[in-house]
Amino acid sequence: MNLKGALPFLTQIVLGALGLIIAWTVSAQSDTVRARIFLEKAKENFSNPSRADSMGIAAYQLAGLNVPLRGESAYLVCFVNSNRDFAKARQWGDSAIFWFKKNDNALWIGYTYRVLGVRSTARNQNDQALTYLQESSHYFEKARDTAMMVQTDISLALLYHNNLSDYRQGLEYAQSAHQRLGSMKDPPASLAWQVNNTLGISFDDLGQSDEAIAWHSRNLETENASFRANTMNNIGNTLRKQGKFREAEGYLKKSLDLAALDDHYLRATVLLNMAQVNEDLGRRSLALRYNDSSVARANVTGDIEKMRDAYEFSHRLNRKAGLWTRAYDDLQHYLEIKDSVMNRSKAEIIYGLEEKFQSVQREQQLASLRSETLAKDLEIQRSRFLLLAGLGLGTALAVLALWLFKRHRYRENLTRSREREELQRQRFSAVIEAEENERARVAKDLHDGLGQLISTAKLGLTAVRIPPGEPSAGLLSNSIQVLDQAAQEVRAIAHNLMPAALTERGLQPVLEDMIAKINASRMLEVQLDLQVGDQRLPNTVEVAVYRVVQEVLNNMLKHADADRVVVKLVREGNSLRLSMSDNGVGFDKAVISRSKGLGWKNILSRISMLNGDIEVQSAPGAGTSINVQFALS
């Protein structure tokens, strides 16, 4: 889109704005009434943020020069967007503060700063959160609203406690909240619970367990089941840290009984604490059951930190129990989530820098808009015609600026998208490389360690001489046969993990050996066509192709119900083409995107790592055809 193409659009916007201004001049009182109606309907539609946003903006536009109505409308748009579009929420929050300051409405200025502060805390934008919350506290104090000052002290305490790990400073704000609460007449029970809870967790993380339990115990009298459940969990967790495991278990069980079935976050937390207590008490099987339930609940919440803690403990618990496969799976999940948290932290740092850069531009724009608004107020008194012309010109410039801004943001988003794709590709590469190294290590340990032990045992048994006819002669013979079978199994497992021939002789003989074994089993007839020449492929490509063929053949054996498969690998210049097809039952391709297993994820990850392309052709009853293209340059 260029400026010439945008002129008709801008002209229509200007004409529409002029029409709205004339209508406002004729029926300003009517528009104010309509603005209030839109504002009330927006409040009724908080469950539908998009609709509430549109109505709030309409109310703001209809409010005209009605300062209180403009400020309240802008605040509503800020609040509605605080969880879904924070940049937009900040812009509307700045606008709300501007209008509230015009009539010195300290209370609503405090509300606006608090919304932005709480959301900045959730986004880990801690410097901004601290500034917003401190400003909020200042204006609530100016408005003499003690309850909101208590709420803001709690928010500051949690910011220092959860985000900044400054427990001492967090405790000071919690104590300030308690002091303010004491000055209130009949404070709400929910507010008192929050203050006691914040003091309890602050003392707990400072290692002052007795004080923590004392503050939490004050909350046991609440009638709110959810509050009591949280309190029981907090007391149980503190008792566990003191080594009072059985007493802690009693509180945690009560918490679990009180927690709502759909409160997945709380139940995941309590279940994890129960697992830890049972591990402390030496009940490993019970700890495993509680831990499995905690992992399931954590996955339902989607909370990254909660999932990370659950999988980390699950890995440790399964490793101690000797459940190596589960421990390995838990470790994989934990490392994936840990990488996700690191990437998210990096993205938040980049976003924070971008926000600081753009905040200067926004302040300049807001200052310009404020000056323009004041100038237009004077123009209303001097000349209605000049007002119409000035507002029309301002609207045109604003639309042009918005268009240029969106164009700039589109280019930035495109660049960031490409950077994210490259970062994801590098991450896949690192994970797959680590996985292959681990496969190679385990295969070597199996072959050189366990395999040698079995061979030594067999040699020892073979050397034993028992006269024929003795009862133990048959037992000896059977034992030697079992050791032979065990040695064959160890070699087979080591080969599946990392075939030695793949490193020593290359991809072609390994694929031929794999296909020969499948054909010998008579479970499936596989036709192999290799046209790759004598020159070895790069090691990363050989490993990726081997794993893709292995995974796809495994899927076809398990799910395709086919009796014939064709595998073709062709090298043409700087490209490598792999095609695999079967005459099985086929499947719905949408299953790939919905799959929760690791099979298709591994296939797609390996292909993506090498900048390859994959095309899957399948439908129920029509067989399956998979074509993969790799660039070798």
Helix (H) / strand (E) containing 446? none
- The answer to whether the Cα torsion of 582, 514, 628, 413 is positive or negative is positive
* CA 467 and chain centroid, separation: 69
pLDDT tens-digit map of 86-117: 999 999 999 999 999 998 999 999 999 999 99
C-beta of residue 26 within 8 angstroms of C-beta of residue 57? no
Q: What is the pLDDT of residue 95?
A: 92
Task: Output 548 or 132, whichever has higher pLDDT.
Answer: 132
Residue 5's SS3 state is helix
Contact between 350 and 124 (Cβ < 8 Å): no
Angle subtended at Cα 379 by Cα 378 and Cα 385, rounded to the nearest 5 degrees? 165
Longest dimension (CA), the chain: 125
Report the Cα 340 to chain-centroid distance in Å. 7
**Number of C-alpha atoms within 13 angstroms, CB side, residue 504?**
6
DSSP 401-433: HHHHHHHHHHHHHHHHHHHHHHHHHHHHHHHHH
Quote the CA–CA distance of 111 and 144 in Å, as a whole number: 13
Is pLDDT larger for residue 83 or for residue 139? 139
Nearest Cα to Cα of residue 326 among 337, 335, 314, 338: 314
Please report which confidence band the pLDDT of residue 277 belongs to, taking 50, 70 and 90 as the band edges.
Answer: very high
pLDDT of residue 448: 53
Q: What is the pLDDT of residues 336-385, one digit of tens each?
A: 777 655 444 444 443 443 444 344 444 544 445 445 544 444 454 455 55
pLDDT in tens, 296-348: 888 888 777 778 887 888 888 888 878 888 878 878 877 877 765 544 444 44
For residue 618, pLDDT over 70 is answered with: yes
Average of pLDDT values for 530-557? 84
Mean per-residue pLDDT, 247-251? 93
Q: Which tens digits make up the pLDDT trace of 468-484?
A: 666 666 666 666 666 66
Whether pLDDT at 206 is above 60? yes
Does the pLDDT of residue 608 top 60, yes or no? yes
Predicted local confidence at residue 381, as pLDDT: 43
Instruction: Tell which wins on pLDDT, 255 or 353.
Output: 255
Q: How far apart are CA 349 and CA 119, in angstroms?
A: 16
Beta-sheet strand order (sheet of 525-531): 525-531, 564-572, 575-582, 624-631, 613-618
pLDDT band at 247 (very low <50, low <70, confident <90, very high): very high
d(CA 458, CA 470): 20
DSSP string, 65-109: T-HHHHHHHHHHHHHHHTTT-HHHHHHHHHHHHHHHHHTT-HHHH
How much is the pLDDT for 202?
92
Q: Cβ distance 555 to 601 under 8 Å?
A: no
Residues 6 or more apart in contact with residue 241 via CB below 8 angstroms: 204, 209
pLDDT > 70 in the chain, percent: 72
Residues near 330 by beta carbon (within 8 Å), at least 6 away in sequence: 295, 311, 312, 314, 315, 318
Report residue 414's pLDDT band, with 50, 70 and 90 as the boundaries.
confident
